[in-house]
Structure formats: C-alpha cells, structure tokens
Structure 1
Amino acid sequence: MSREYTLPDLTDIFDYSNGWFSDTSIGSLFYQTFKHFPSMRKVKYKINRSFVEAIKELYQQESSFDLIDHTYYNYFDNEEQEDDEERSETPNKELYDCILFCKDNLLISYFDECVRIAYADISEEEIFHILHICEDHKKDCEQLNNLFIVTFAHNYFSLKQSHVNKTSIKIDLHYNEDFSPVATEIEKFLMEDNKSGLVILHGKQGTGKTTYIRHLINIGKKKMIYMGGDLVDKLSDPSFITFIRQQKNSILIVEDCEELLTSRNGSNRMNAGLVNILNISDGLLSDELCIKFICTFNAPLKDMDQALLRKGRLAARYEFKELATEKVNKLIQEEGLDIPEQKTPLTLAEIYNYDDMDFSLGRSRVGF
C-alpha cells in the first residue's frame, strides 16, 4: 500500500526512551494512521526475529498491510577487542527493528527484540493469537543476575539488565568480627517485603564493600538496581521520582554518594537528592514504593546529615576497615596463601594482590 507517515525528530527515531518505538510514539502513530485511540499490549520478554516473518505470513494479504523496517550493524560496548585492526576484521552484529501495519486498527512494533501491540476494535481472540505467536518465538532466557544498571539519556531514566560474577566470601573469615552481626541484619532487612529503609556502607578502598555488594546481589531474590557515581546528581532530577515509582519493592544501590549524605554545613537547605532518598525510604512515598537503598562510598563519613540519623531511619551503617592482624593471618592460613605472617592490618585488596607492584606515590608497601 502507499501511505505517508509523520515521524518524530529523526535523531530520536531509534532511541530507547523518546524514539519512534516508545509507547507514546507508537500510540501517536496509531492515532495518526487510524484516527482511533489505541489499547496497548507490551510483551516484556525477548522475541526472536522469526516472529516478524510469522506476522507477515498472517497479515500480508490484508489490503492495508504495510511494513517499515530498519536493519543496521553495530558493535556492543562489552565486546573486547585487542586493537582496532582486530576489531575491523570482526563481523558486526546485525540489528533489526520494524513496524507492521497489519490491518485496519492493528499495529505491531518490533524493537530491541521486544513487541508492542497497538489496536482498536480488534477481538480479544485475535490479540491472544498474536500473543501465542510471541510465545512460539520467545527468545531463550539469558543467564543474567537480578541486577539492573540505571542509565540516563534524553532526560529519561531506563534500566539495562546486567551480570555480576558469583563470590565465595565468608563473612566470618573475610571481614572483621564486628561486621558479622551487621551483615545478618542487612541481609534480613533486604529480604523483607513491604518495607523501605536505608543502608550506608563506607570505608577505604579495597576493604571489601564491592565484594559484599556482589554477595548480596547473588543471594537476593529481589530486583537490584545499580546507580553509578556519575548519576548521583540525577537523584534530584524531577523525573527520578517518576522512574523509581515503576521499581516497587526493589533495592537501589547508589555508589560514591558521600557528598549526597554529608551535612548541610550551616545551610538550612537539604540536598534535593537526599530529600528524594528520605521521602522514598522513610517518607510518604515509602508506604507505596517499599524501596530499600544501599548507599556506598570510599571515604570515612565525617559529617553525616543529622536527618539520616533519626532513630528508625537507618536500617544499618557500617564502616569497612583493614582486616585486623589476627584475621589477616587466619585468612592466610585457611586459604593457603603464599604470604608471610603479617604484623599489621591489611585490606583484602592488599592480601589478594600481595605480590603485585604498588604504584601509589610516596608510600611503602605494607608487608614488605
């Protein structure tokens, strides 16, 4: 068929958040084409490209059938190449997106291996048949953790599923004696349903904070959302509340947030990002969202904002320090590490990288 379509900004057509394939744009395109407001169904699992061929076979005889597709090639950031020459010799991965105008009042988009169905005056039986086709072409589940990474683009927050390696840490062996009861309380708190709150983990680099977070991700059954230090300032963005309301009963890990949590230094105005955290973890929004925060940073916490210290607000706070000398030697003995007996505390990083060169400036290596 011959038909003209008015597109959004061409630079955004294939963007995840604001582009042609977003719910809003699909709905707008549907109304523009069929002059009806659509109902929407979104298939939340990945679909193989063979789904498109199955839909074409089902509807291509319809007089109003039309297909707009886009094939392109790209590398992914997590692909490791040793140099540019090797990279250029490696085949690109093919990506494919399309919109199918199946018949009057029925439009299907296929983007990022996910399907959206927009329709009006279409029987439930027909919609269920399309959903059954989706099931037939469902992509095999990837072996991923329950970890998601927050991204921010075009003033829009989104999530990308990620992977984290398993750990074999033993709390009683790899951490100081005072951490064991705190760890028990943290893990119990994180597993509770219908509860919000805040956990603060801080201390110098190499003391095991990240390893412990990795441990929590692997043992947890809840959705874990990681927000890197480069996005901490976005916690004050007005769209953050809209985003986080879609993540009910999840655990948000915020890294490098010392400045966010420190005192106002004489100012009466609280950091807007901290206001959002307090409202979500212990304010009016906490009853609705049931979101737990784990905030981490590397420096000692000298001036925590007093608003955080109110009784009942903090579920736990712990400062990670070097492993005590007796614990260091116990770890060396139990794991059979080729390290001489130590006479001073060491961080876990210093223990497990004992023979590596030390590139720090003006510092003698501990243990030598």
Structure 2
Amino acid sequence: MPTLLDAFDSYNDFNRSAYYILCFNTLPSNLTLEIPLKETKANMELAVATLDVEKLQLKPIFKNWRTEDDKDADVAQDYPFQYLFKSDALKLLIWISLNNNELYMDLHYDAETQELEQQVLALNHTFREKFGEKKAPTFKVLTHNDRFFSTEDVKCEFLQVDVAALYNDDFLEIHSLIEASLEQEKSGLILLHGAPGTGKTSYIKSLISKHPNSTFIFIQNEFVQDLLKPDFISFLLKNRNAILVIEDAEKVITTRESVQENSVVSTILQLTDGLFSDFLNIKVICTFNTTLDKVDKALLRKGRLIANYEFKPLEAKKATRLLETLGHQTPDTDLALADIFNFQEKAFTEASNKKKIGF
C-alpha cells in the first residue's frame, strides 16, 4: 500500500506529482507560473488571497515560515512564504511560494474534469494579470548542477540602437552581415572586440531585443572550461540553433600555442565548422578586449567567421553630433559611447593632487 514516503524521490526531495497520485490515484496534469515579485509579507498574503481558497475548497496541508531570529524581532512580520494546498473535492493540488524575489505557483489537477481545467487556466491568467510584468526581451544564462547543464531565463531592458548614429560608418556593413546570419540556420563565429565602453554589450542587447524568437545563451566566464565537457555537447543537442554569447572571451579565443591547459578553441572550431556544425547550427558571439593578433588563427578562417569587428571610440564628427542631441557641448574629439552617455558624471580616474600616505 502506498504511503507518504512514496512521495519522496531518491534525493529525498518531496515530489508533488507523486503525492498527487498517492492522494487521488490518477496521473496529474501540470501548470506552473513564475513571476518576479518582491518577497514581502504583504505580497505573499495577496498571492494567497488571489487563490480564492474558499471557492476552490482548498485546505493548507503544509506551510514553510519566514521568521527573524533576533530577540526583539517583530512577531507581526512572521509569515509563511510557502504553502501546499489541497482540494479533495476537486482533486486539485497547489504549491505556492514567494522566495528569492520570485512568485512560483505549481498546480496539479485532473485533466478529465474540463470545468476544473478552465478554473486552473483562469487562475493562471488572474495571477499573470495581477503580478506579471510587461513582456521584455529575454536571454538565457547557462547553469550547471551535479547532473546536467540547464539555463535560467533573464529579462533585460528593450534596447533599440540606431547603428548609423551610435557606431562608426565602417560598422554598418558588419551589422548587415550579423543581422543576415541571425536569420539563417547556419553555424558560425562572430568576434566583437575593442576597448571597454565602446558599445559591444549594448549592441548585443539590441540584437536580443530585435530577435525575440532567437535563443541567446550567455556563457559566464567560470563555465568556459566546461565547454570541453561531453555533457555540454549533450546540452547543445537540446538547444539547436542557439546563439552562445561569451563576454570577456580572452580565455576562449587565445591561440592554442600560448596556453598550457586544454584550449576551448578546439570546441569552438567543432561547433562553428566541424562535424557537429551542420546539425547544431550554433552561432558563437565572442566579445573581448585583447588585440586580434592573440586570437587563434583557425578562428579567423573564411567560412567559419561570420563577422569580425573592432569597436573604437565614436569619430569626432559623430560624437559631437550625438552629444548635441543630448544637450551637451564638447571639443571636437573622438569619444567612447560610455563617455558620451555619462558625459556629466564625475570621472574618478584622474590622479589626485593629495600627498600619498603609506603604500
């Protein structure tokens, strides 16, 4: 006979699907909702009230409390931040949590009851309408646990860039090549390099905003060596046609002769023009500050390289015109975009006239 222990998996984690089967002897359908929301007592109470516990005949069968440990803590601020609700009458199970500034709701129900399914969908819509944010450009961040690679969605600001106004004239042709490549199911490499503040990251944000149907996966520096792992190839097999973005990619693109450890360059070569490339259709965007002469020459080969561009400060004429549109006046000189858009900010890089003391 099944017992409550059967609702725990091999990792001793509580499995809500298994618990549903244990309670109602049927396979549950599932709907989940994840919304960014500040974790406060007021927000959690509002979320629970939105459930309409009475109408759905829900009873709390589990609570996880958030309390402070200080001697003079305000008891009135203690509150449950996680609930498990169950409706025996409707065969409905709801987990709701407000943790790490995210509202998470997980509903299990019997799909054979059409009326219940409509209630579940209506509840999901109510939560989206009350707590959700307006749709924003989204990219994915690579994550890894003890078992496999996965991704977390991250929203970013919508950024529409006027390439003709914000970048030097020689970038227009490169921009056209990049735009065209993103519309094609073909692998390749894009190298964007230059001094900090010249607009590399802003340009990538604009690509994410302009191509919402493309999958951009941001690879953090600490995961660079993980690109060599077989598990990463398995991950890519599930993310065909993705665009990998590696910022500060010096470790990735440095010539293999200049490093002692196994180079990631070989993996990049396979992804962009190897046996896997025609199947995976992976594009790799690398940004870096080093000079091009340190880049592995194999990465620069025609047919693999979609585009290569060095971002430089905006030429004087364009910089002056852009500053004037922002209401500033300046000497006629080349300026980086970061300096233009933060023109009135105090610079902290100037040498101090004060006498140095100590080291």
Structure 1 equivalent of residue 120 of structure 2: 134
3-state SS of the aligned residue for 1:162?
strand
1:361–1:243 Cα change, 3 Å: farther
Q: Which residue of 2 aligns with 1:189?
A: 181
- Distance in 1, matches of 2:88 and 2:252, equals 51
Deviations 1:341-365 (A, max 9, x none): 22x322111222233232226599x
Counterpart pick for 1:339 among 320, 329, 339: 329
How far residue 311 of structure 1 moved from its aligned partner, in angstroms, is 1.9
> Partner of 1:161 in structure 2?
153
Which of 340, 344, 357 matches 1:355?
344
CA–CA distance in 2 between the matches of 1:69 and 1:191?
Answer: 49
- Shift of residue 200 of structure 1? 1.6
SS at match of 1:172: helix
| Pairing partner for 1:307 from 291, 298, 305 | 298
User: Structure 2: how far apart are the matches of 1:324 and 1:187?
Assistant: 23
Q: Percent identity?
A: 28
What is the CA–CA distance in structure 2 between the aligned matches of 1:99 and 1:280, rounded to whole Å?
47
Structure 1 unaligned spans of 5+: 14-19, 61-66, 75-87
Query: Do the aligned residues in 2 keep the contact of 1:204 with 1:300 (CA within 8 Å)?
Result: no
Superposition pairs for residues 119-268 of structure 1, below 5 Å?
126=112, 131-138=117-124, 139-140=127-128, 142-143=133-134, 144-154=136-146, 156-192=148-184, 194-221=185-212, 222-265=214-257
Q: Provide the rounded CA distance (Å) in 2 between the counterparts of 1:109 and 1:294.
A: 41
- 2:5 is paired with a residue whose SS is coil
Instruction: Give, in angstroms, the shift of residue 97 of structure 1.
Output: 5.5
Question: Structure 2 unaligned runs (5+)?
Answer: 36-46, 68-73, 97-103, 354-359
- Secondary structure of the residue that 1:302 maps to in structure 2? helix
- Check 1:68–1:94 CA distance in 2 against 1; reply closer, same or farther (3 A cut): closer
User: How far does the alpha carbon of each residue in 1:119-148 deviate from its partner, in whole angstroms, 9 at most, with x for none?
Assistant: xxx9xx627666544322214153232323
| Amino acid corresponding to residue 71 of structure 1 in structure 2 | N
Where 1:210 maps in the other structure, the secondary structure is helix
The count of aligned residue pairs is 318
Determine the structure 2 residue equivalent to 1:290.
281
TM-score calculated relative to the size of structure 1: 0.68
In the TM superposition, what is the alpha-carbon distance from 1:70 to its structure 2 partner? 4.4
> For the structure 1 residues 3 and 224, does the alpha-carbon distance in structure 2 shift closer, same or farther, using more than 3 Å as the test?
same
Q: CA deviation at 1:164?
A: 1.6
Contact 2:193-2:310 at 8 Å conserved across structures: yes
TM-score (normalizing by structure 2): 0.70
In the TM superposition, residue 303 of structure 1 has moved relative to its aligned partner by: 1.7
Q: 1:298 to 1:266 in 2, by over 3 A?
A: closer
Q: Tell me the CA shift for residue 224 of structure 1.
A: 2.4
User: Are the equivalent residues in 2 in contact too, given 1:203–1:321 (CA < 8 A)?
Assistant: yes
Name the SS of the counterpart of 1:137 in structure 2: helix
Does the residue aligned with 1:159 lie in a helix, a strand or coil? Answer: strand
Partner of 1:5: 5
